[in-house]
Amino acid sequence: MKKDIHFISAFPGTLFVFLAALLFSACDRNENEENQFPLIDVASGFKVEKVAGGLNFPTGIAWDSENAMYVVEAGGGFLEEPSPARILKVTSGQLTEVVNLEAKGVVAPVVGFTFHNGNFYISHKAADMTGAVSRISKDGASLNQILSGFVDGGSEHPLNDIRMGPDGRMYLATGPAGNSAVQGPDVAPFVSRTPSLRTT
């Protein structure tokens, strides 16, 4: 004879403790919690200060020749309405869009970001899903893809950081598709987008 075990009847105490913990954790929220940084341990004499908020997937910060700050948002993501990749200027905590990269044909995610000789440089995906680098004018008016064809893992670590060295050369970083040799089901969306996904 087959017996059906129901979670609620088999473990009523466990269920009660779980629900009580969930309720109490929800009640223990502080309205100013977003202004606190409990996970950041700052050495004596230093402090953490929020410079800007309301960003979607920020992946890089750069400063122009006048020391103005810019931030790039990766764009994409697995949301019903993915946010576009953008370059934003940060002035006294206010964000001003310089350029909507998606509208210029850039494929997300945008990860690497730097400023060099009057232009922004970003690393991103090309239309064929290989890694690419584009140069954008400071005002966002012109965008030119200057490199493409970089083979990367196709998942969690695409063509990544971008820096200009003191030797005048461009340096790029990339990584594997994930953090383990055997990928879990969490990378399924990446596999559907890039069937050639690999761990190295």
Q: Is the distance from CB of 126 to CB of 134 less than 8 angstroms?
A: no
- pTM (whole model) above 0.85: no
pLDDT of 91 reads 96
pLDDT of 5 reads 45
Q: Is position 107 within any domain?
A: yes
- Between CA 1 and CA 16 the distance in angstroms is 30
pLDDT of 10 reads 46
Q: Is position 37 within any domain?
A: no
Q: Is position 34 within any domain?
A: no
Q: Is position 90 within any domain?
A: yes
Q: What is the pLDDT of residues 23-75, one digit of tens each?
A: 444 444 455 555 565 677 888 999 888 899 999 999 999 999 999 999 999 99
Please list the ranges in the chain whose pLDDT falls under 50.
Answer: 2-11, 15-17, 19, 22-29, 200
pLDDT of 72 reads 97
Q: Is position 135 within any domain?
A: yes
- DSSP-assigned letters across all residues of 44-90: TT----------SSEEEEEE-TT--EEEEE--B-SSSSPBPPEEEEE
Q: Is position 44 within any domain?
A: no
Q: Is position 133 within any domain?
A: yes
pLDDT of 128 reads 85
Domain that holds residue 174: 58-193
Q: Is position 199 within any domain?
A: no
How many folded domains does the chain comprise?
Answer: 1
pLDDT of 108 reads 87
